[in-house]
Amino acid sequence: MSHRVPAFALALVASAALASPALAHTGHEVGDYVLEIGWLNEPAFVGQPNAVQVTISDHHDGTPITDLGADDLTVVVSTAGVDSSSLVLEPAFDAVEKTGPLGEYDAALVPTAPGDYTFHITGSIHTTAVDLTVASGEETFNPVVASTDLEFPARMPSLTEVGTRLDRIDGRIAALQSAAPGVGDGALQAAQDALKAAGAATANADKALTMGLLVGGAGLVIAVVALLLALRATRRGTGAG
C-alpha cells in the first residue's frame, strides 16, 4: 500500500493538470471584483476570428458577475501604434437563463498582424470605475502569431503580399495611361502584362482573406478595362495609318 499511495496521488495531479485549460490570462483586482483578461482563443493567430475575453467575478466569494448593462465596459485594442475603435464587451452567456460561461464578456476581433497587442478596458462594474491597460507578454496573455507554419497544402498570401502585387498593377496601368497615343503596340503590351498580373493576384487572393479577394478582383477589372481601351486605341491607330 505504501508504494501505491504516491502513484495514485501523482495520477491525480496529472489528471488535474490535463483538465485545466492552457490559457494565458492575467488577473486584475478592481475594487470588489477580479477581472481575468486575455484572448478568447489561444494561441491567437493572424487572420483568425478571435475576441478580447474578460471574465469578471466577485473578489470575496468568486461569484460571477452577470448583470452588467449594455456598454458598461468597452475595450480599445492597440498594436504597432494603431488603435481600434471602442469595442463593446458583450455577455458570452445567456443573461436570462444564466447558462453558458457565466461572468464572461467578449469583444469580437480578427487580428490581422502579428506582434504584441494592448487592451485598454474602460467603463464601470456597477458603481466601480474601471480603467485598465494590459499588454501581451510572458506574465499576461499571448501575442498574436502568424499561421504560415500551419497552412496546408499551400501557404496563403498575406494582405501585404496581395497589396504589393496590386501596387505593381497600378504602376503598369499608370504607364499605360501616360503612354503616347501613337505607341499602340507598347500600350497594348502594357495592358496585357497588367491583365496577367491582375489574374495572378486574383488567384492568390482567392486563397487569402476576403479583403484580399475583393482587392484582387478590383485590380482584375481595372486591367481588363485598360486592355479594352488599348485595343481600341490600337485599332484606331491602324485605321488612321
Q: What is the DSSP letter of 227?
A: H
**Residue 203 has which C-alpha cell?**
488567384
Whole-prediction pTM: 0.61
Report the 10 Å Cβ neighbour count for 225. Answer: 13
b/e per residue, 176-201, with b = 16+ CB within 10 A?
beebeeeebeebbebbbbbbebbeeb
**Residue 221 has which C-alpha cell?**
477589372
Q: What is the DSSP letter of 53?
A: E
Residues 6+ apart with CB under 8 A from 25: 36, 37, 38, 53, 55, 140, 141
**Residue 76 has which C-alpha cell?**
480599445
Q: Does domain 25-147 have CATH number 2.60.40.1730?
A: no
Nearest to 53 by CA among 96, 112, 105, 6: 105
**If residue 132 lies in a helix (H) or strand (E), which one and from where to where?**
strand 128-135
Sheet holding 50-58, edge to edge: 26-30, 33-39, 50-58, 104-109, 90-91
Question: Mind listing the pLDDT tens digit of every residue in the chain (241 residues)?
Answer: 444 445 444 343 333 333 334 457 889 999 999 999 999 999 999 989 999 999 999 999 999 999 998 889 999 999 999 999 999 999 999 989 999 999 999 999 999 999 999 999 999 999 999 999 999 999 999 999 988 777 778 777 766 667 777 777 777 777 766 765 555 556 666 666 766 776 666 665 555 555 555 555 556 666 666 666 666 666 666 555 5
Domain boundaries, the chain: 25-147, 159-240
